[in-house]
Amino acid sequence: MRVDMGAAPHRAPAEPWASFLRELDELLKGSVELHCLGGFVVTQQYGIGRETADIDFLSIVRSREDDVEALAGLGSDALSKLERNADRDRDDVLRLARAGLVDAQALKARYFEEVRPYFLSREGWHDQTLDLWLEMISPTNSQP
């Protein structure tokens, strides 16, 4: 299994996540790419402080046998934090932007290349959320 946590150089996830991902990898029969999102990436990859109790992901599965959601998930319908757009999701984006770890161009490019192609519906909704997030992190709206 290949785990992607964003554009920064990858660090190995801390426990209990490292063990969880190893166990999940042992259950998989083929090649799976796991594109992680949300609080897990914010805390594990970038070290920006907040607790998280799950891993939000988009999986690229080569085989129907390797349904990561069925193997390790609770059955969530959301593909990304864009779907939920809760206060903590917007706070995560602002923290990353203020720390210089994401900028508007990178966020927009990654959305159109890595996230939007996998939405099955409500593209307009997700596009509007992206526009909101881009406006939030624009230099004219940034706070120190």
pLDDT digits (tens, 9 = 90+) for 121-140: 678 888 999 999 999 998 76
**What local confidence, expressed as pLDDT, does residue 79 receive?**
39
* pLDDT grade for 6, boundaries at 50, 70 and 90: low
Per-residue pLDDT, 28: 82
CA 18 vs CA 12, 47, 72, 130: distances in Å: 7, 16, 14, 30
DSSP 112: I
**According to the model, what pLDDT value does residue 75 have?**
46
| pLDDT winner (highest mean) among 20-29, 57-66, 129-138 | 129-138
Query: By the 8 A CB rule, do 79 and 57 touch?
Result: no
Where does the pLDDT of residue 22 fall: very low under 50, low under 70, confident under 90, or very high at 90 and above?
confident
Which comes out higher in pLDDT, residue 130 or 52? 130
Contacts of 90-96 with C-beta under 8 Å, sequence gap 24+, read 90/132, 90/133, 90/136, 91/50, 92/38, 92/39, 92/42, 92/48, 92/50, 93/133, 93/136, 93/137, 94/136, 94/137, 95/42, 95/48, 96/42, 96/46, 96/48
Q: Tell me, what's the pLDDT at 65?
A: 61
Higher pLDDT, 72 or 100: 100
pLDDT tens-digit readout, 86-118:
888 888 888 888 888 888 888 898 888 877 877
pLDDT, average across residues 41-61 = 74
**Which of the 8 DSSP states describes residue 50?**
-
Judged against a pLDDT cut of 50, whether residue 77 lies above it is answered with no
Burial class (CB in 10 A: 0-12, 13-18, 19+), 67: middle
pLDDT of 125 reads 84
State both tokens at 141.
């709206």
